[in-house]
Amino acid sequence: MPIRRAKRRLMNEINVVPYIDVMLVLLVIFMITAPLINPGQIELPQIGKSLQPPVEPLEITIKADNSLLLRDRAANGGEQKISRNQLIQAIKQKQSKNAEQPVVIAADKNVRYEEVINVMDILQAQQVKKIGLLASPK
């Protein structure tokens, strides 16, 4: 009578006990060494003068009929209707006082894109460095 050997079955389970032991040892090591580590100290540079507050921007409004309004938020001035030539003169005057004066453009949503680009072109011709567009949030 032939001797039957028991068939070996493949083991389809992973023994995770050694992994848990390693993780617990690492956890203990990190818990012990973490309080011993000194965080680096950063020495910040010091400045001699205080920083100047940002300058309020000039606001150019383009209405639906392509007319321009100018408001100087820094001087708390009201809106004044202005032509393109007067806009150039006003920008030159403001740039002579402060070359870093920002300018924002607020255009009616029915204004053609070309009109906004024309105003931006005028501002760039006057060397305005900071130009922005205003939009209302939804």
pLDDT (tens digit per residue) in 2-11: 666 666 777 7
Query: Rounded distance, CA 117 to CA 136, Å?
Result: 19
Q: How many domains does the chain have?
A: 1
In a domain, 72, yes or no: yes
**pTM for the full model?**
0.57
Q: What is the pLDDT of residue 51?
A: 61
Query: Rounded distance, CA 111 to CA 131, Å?
Result: 18
Specify the CATH number for the domain of residue 100: 3.30.420.270
Residues 110-132: what's their mean pLDDT? 88
In a domain, 120, yes or no: yes
Which domain does 116 fall in, by range?
58-133
In a domain, 13, yes or no: no
Measuring CA to CA, which residue among 77, 74, 75, 79 is closest to residue 106? 79
